[in-house]
Protein backbone atom coordinates (compact mmCIF):
# COMPACT_ATOMS: atom_id res chain seq x y z
CA UNK A 1 0.00 0.00 0.00
CA UNK A 2 0.97 3.61 -0.51
CA UNK A 3 -0.09 6.37 1.86
CA UNK A 4 -0.43 10.12 1.33
CA UNK A 5 -1.43 13.19 3.30
CA UNK A 6 -3.18 15.85 1.21
CA UNK A 7 -1.65 19.29 1.72
CA UNK A 8 -3.79 21.44 -0.54
CA UNK A 9 -6.97 21.60 -2.52
CA UNK A 10 -9.45 24.01 -3.98
CA UNK A 11 -13.18 23.92 -4.62
CA UNK A 12 -14.68 20.53 -3.76
CA UNK A 13 -11.26 19.17 -2.76
CA UNK A 14 -10.71 21.80 -0.05
CA UNK A 15 -12.54 19.69 2.54
CA UNK A 16 -9.97 16.89 2.08
CA UNK A 17 -6.92 18.99 3.05
CA UNK A 18 -5.11 17.05 5.78
CA UNK A 19 -6.81 13.78 4.87
CA UNK A 20 -4.87 10.53 4.81
CA UNK A 21 -5.23 8.51 1.61
CA UNK A 22 -4.42 4.80 1.24
CA UNK A 23 -3.81 3.53 -2.31
CA UNK A 24 -3.39 0.00 -3.63
CA UNK A 25 -0.69 0.53 -6.30
CA UNK A 26 -1.74 -2.54 -8.29
CA UNK A 27 -5.47 -1.83 -8.57
CA UNK A 28 -5.27 1.95 -7.97
CA UNK A 29 -8.16 1.67 -5.52
CA UNK A 30 -8.11 4.46 -2.95
CA UNK A 31 -9.55 5.05 0.50
CA UNK A 32 -9.42 7.96 2.91
CA UNK A 33 -9.46 7.78 6.71
CA UNK A 34 -12.85 9.04 7.86
CA UNK A 35 -12.24 10.53 11.31
CA UNK A 36 -15.91 10.49 12.29
CA UNK A 37 -16.57 6.86 11.33
CA UNK A 38 -13.02 5.82 12.24
CA UNK A 39 -12.75 3.68 9.13
CA UNK A 40 -11.32 3.67 5.62
CA UNK A 41 -13.87 4.95 3.08
CA UNK A 42 -13.57 4.54 -0.72
CA UNK A 43 -12.55 7.62 -2.68
CA UNK A 44 -11.01 8.44 -6.06
CA UNK A 45 -8.98 11.58 -5.47
CA UNK A 46 -5.28 11.09 -6.18
CA UNK A 47 -5.63 11.70 -9.92
CA UNK A 48 -6.19 15.35 -8.99
CA UNK A 49 -2.85 15.39 -7.17
CA UNK A 50 -0.79 13.49 -9.76
CA UNK A 51 -2.10 15.02 -13.00
CA UNK A 52 0.46 17.63 -14.07
CA UNK A 53 -2.13 20.16 -15.26
CA UNK A 54 -4.19 20.04 -12.06
CA UNK A 55 -3.98 22.97 -9.61
CA UNK A 56 -3.49 20.39 -6.85
CA UNK A 57 -0.51 18.76 -8.61
CA UNK A 58 1.97 17.36 -6.04
CA UNK A 59 0.19 18.98 -3.07
CA UNK A 60 0.64 15.86 -0.97
CA UNK A 61 3.29 14.12 1.04
CA UNK A 62 3.99 10.42 1.10
CA UNK A 63 3.72 8.71 4.47
CA UNK A 64 4.98 5.39 5.77
CA UNK A 65 2.56 2.84 7.16
CA UNK A 66 3.98 3.49 10.66
CA UNK A 67 3.31 7.23 10.33
CA UNK A 68 -0.24 6.53 9.20
CA UNK A 69 -0.94 4.15 12.08
CA UNK A 70 0.30 6.74 14.60
CA UNK A 71 -1.89 9.44 13.02
CA UNK A 72 -4.94 7.17 12.85
CA UNK A 73 -4.55 6.32 16.54
CA UNK A 74 -4.53 10.03 17.43
CA UNK A 75 -7.78 10.50 15.47
CA UNK A 76 -9.61 7.74 17.33
CA UNK A 77 -12.26 8.80 19.80
CA UNK A 78 -12.01 7.46 23.34
CA UNK A 79 -14.40 4.61 24.03
CA UNK A 80 -17.11 5.17 26.62
CA UNK A 81 -16.50 3.06 29.69
Residues 36 and 15: beta-carbon distance below 8 Å:
no
3-class secondary-structure state, position 7 = coil
Q: Where are the domains of the chain?
A: 2-75
> What does pTM read for this prediction?
0.85
Average pLDDT of the chain, as a whole number: 91
- Of residues 73 and 29, the one with the higher pLDDT is 29
Per-residue pLDDT tens for 37-72? 999 999 999 999 999 999 999 999 999 999 999 888
CA nearest neighbour of 43 among 58, 25, 28, 63: 28
Q: 81 burial class (0-12, 13-18, 19+ CB within 10 angstroms)?
A: exposed
Read off the pLDDT band of 6 (50, 70, 90).
Answer: very high
Amino acid sequence: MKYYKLLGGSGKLKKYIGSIIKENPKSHEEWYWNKQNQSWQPIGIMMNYTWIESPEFEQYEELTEDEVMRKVLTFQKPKNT
